Amino acid sequence: MLERPDAGALVAAARQTVLDALLPHLPREKHYEARMVANALAIAGRAMGAPQPAQDAAALARAIRAAPPLPGTAEYARVHAALLALTRARAAVSAPKAIA
């Protein structure tokens, strides 16, 4: 067994430390960088344990490029649903607010 706390808890604690303990003491011109660090840790935390999207992005990209489905067809609806699921899974890690 690996030692606990696990990676997720460490990343969350590191992020909280940046925001609560460091940021208030940094000069204004360094706030942007500190917020970037906190944001990166938040994304990393959400990525841990997030499922890999089931959709094959490369195959979808090739298929759309080769023969883009036309609106109103069953193929359009199928590909659209796959893209929505893929994007939802990706945004859940990178930008959950975007799909809220």
Interface with other proteins (CB under 8 A)? 33, 36-37, 39-40, 43, 55, 57-58, 60-62, 64-65, 68, 71, 79-80, 83-84, 86-88, 90-91, 93-95, 97-99
Q: Which is nearer to other proteins, 1 or 70 (CB)?
A: 70
Pull the structure tokens for residue 71: 């609106």
Q: Give strand ranges (E) for the chain.
A: none
Residue 48's identity, in one-letter code, is M
Query: Three-state DSSP class for 1?
Result: coil
CB of 9 to other proteins, least distance (A): 22
Q: Which is nearer to other proteins, 22 or 95 (CB)?
A: 95
DSSP H or E stretch at residue 55:
none
